[in-house]
């Protein structure tokens, strides 16, 4: 552990701790490494599920078409830009 490492405390009932320790032993890794790796895998899974947008083929084509279209500012944006340009 480096000096910059952060600590995370976790309370478990004895049966849960024993189960996790047994799994770590079966993998041949220290308990803390086993827990860290499992938690990081779960964090990646949650982030991928929550932060990834999946589009259908039709939605993908519509999105790419919108990106390729030239930008057309609406009236509100033009008015705001005019206010900025004329102090």
Q: Which residues of 59-71 are buried (b: 16+ CB within 10 A; e: fewer)?
A: eeeeeeeeeeeee
Predicted confidence (pLDDT) per residue in 14-39, tens digit? 999 999 999 999 999 999 999 999 99
Asked whether the beta carbons of 12 and 21 are under 8 A apart, the reply is no
At residue 68, the pLDDT reads 96
Predicted confidence (pLDDT) per residue in 33-87, tens digit? 999 999 999 999 999 999 999 999 999 999 999 999 999 899 999 999 889 887 6
Asked whether the beta carbons of 20 and 29 are under 8 A apart, the reply is no
Query: Which two tokens mark 20?
Result: 């996790």
At residue 2, the pLDDT reads 59
Please say if the pLDDT value at position 1 is more than 70: no
For the question of whether the overall pTM of this predicted structure is more than 0.85, the answer is no
DSSP 74: -
At residue 85, the pLDDT reads 82
């Amino acid at each position: 552990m480096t000096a910059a490492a952060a600590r995370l405390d976790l309370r478990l009932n004895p049966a849960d701790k024993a189960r996790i320790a047994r799994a770590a032993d079966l993998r041949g890794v220290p308990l803390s490494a086993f827990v860290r790796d499992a938690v990081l895998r779960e964090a990646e899974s949650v982030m991928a599920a929550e932060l990834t947008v999946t589009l259908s083929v039709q939605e993908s084509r519509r999105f790419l078409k919108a990106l390729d279209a030239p930008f057309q500012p609406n009236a509100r944006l033009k008015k705001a830009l005019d206010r900025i340009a004329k102090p």
